[in-house]
Amino acid sequence: MIFSRGDNMWLRYFCGSCLAVASIIYCRTVTAVDTNLMIRGNILDAGCIVTGSDDNGVIEVSFGDININKVGTPETERLVNLKVSCDNSVQERKTLQMYVHPTSYGILTSVGQNVLETSLPGLGIALTVGTDAKPVNLNTWTPVPGMSSKNDTWTRSVKIQARLVTPSKSQLQAGKFKATADIIMNYQ
């Protein structure tokens, strides 16, 4: 088809109309809307990594074979050596704290809040720390003696005493036992 000059006018009108209709169909009206913005986060103190003295992440304590009559005596006590490495950004005047959470059998509360219950009914493991044997109450933050951040000479070593205990030797039966717990350390 050949368009003349007059037809060119018609073509312009037709194309312009098509563009106008297309823009009406595809354009939306923009309106302002109020909405809430929620921002969340968690600011943490310097963290610590706890391992065995050999840098192993799993710390195993073996009691070996124990005479049932020795349960509760110093002969059933084992030393647990922990290596604690903390972030260098620890603020001054903070104290190293320990949180021990039983992950298998809970707390043997009939003996104390610091006693891990074991798989053997009536047998627990009492946890203490420091030279004065301060109880490490489970599911509670406990200060680690002599480990404040202002002390530049700390050895980064924590020793926990673990002693077999029972509420009643007469009811305790012989057998194998186990218990597990998570240990978290942080400056607070």
- Whether the pLDDT of residue 36 is over 90: the answer is no
- Whether the pLDDT of residue 18 is over 80: the answer is no
**CATH class for the region spanning 48-187:** mainly beta
- Whether the pLDDT of residue 174 is over 70: the answer is yes
Q: At 1, is the pLDDT very low, low, confident or very high (cuts 50, 70, 90)?
A: very low
66-82: pLDDT as tens digits: 999 999 999 999 999 88
* Rounded Cα distance, 144 and 163, in Å: 18
Q: At 148, is the pLDDT very low, low, confident or very high (cuts 50, 70, 90)?
A: low
* Rounded Cα distance, 158 and 146, in Å: 10
Which amino acid would we find at residue 87? D
Q: At 99, is the pLDDT very low, low, confident or very high (cuts 50, 70, 90)?
A: very high
- In this prediction, residues 5-15 reach a mean pLDDT of 54
- Whether the pLDDT of residue 141 is over 50: the answer is yes
- Using alpha carbons, list the distances in angstroms from residue 6 to 16, 20, 109, 151, 163: 16, 22, 102, 97, 107
- Whether the pLDDT of residue 40 is over 80: the answer is no
* Rounded Cα distance, 56 and 51, in Å: 5
For residue 80, give the 3-state DSSP assignment: strand
Q: At 22, is the pLDDT very low, low, confident or very high (cuts 50, 70, 90)?
A: low
- Whether the pLDDT of residue 20 is over 60: the answer is no
- Whether the pLDDT of residue 139 is over 60: the answer is yes
96 or 156, which is more confident: 96
* Model pLDDT, residue 42: 67
Delimit the domains of the chain by residue range. Answer: 48-187
- Whether the pLDDT of residue 161 is over 90: the answer is yes
Which residues, listed in sequence order, are joined to residue 186 by a DSSP beta bridge? 47, 97
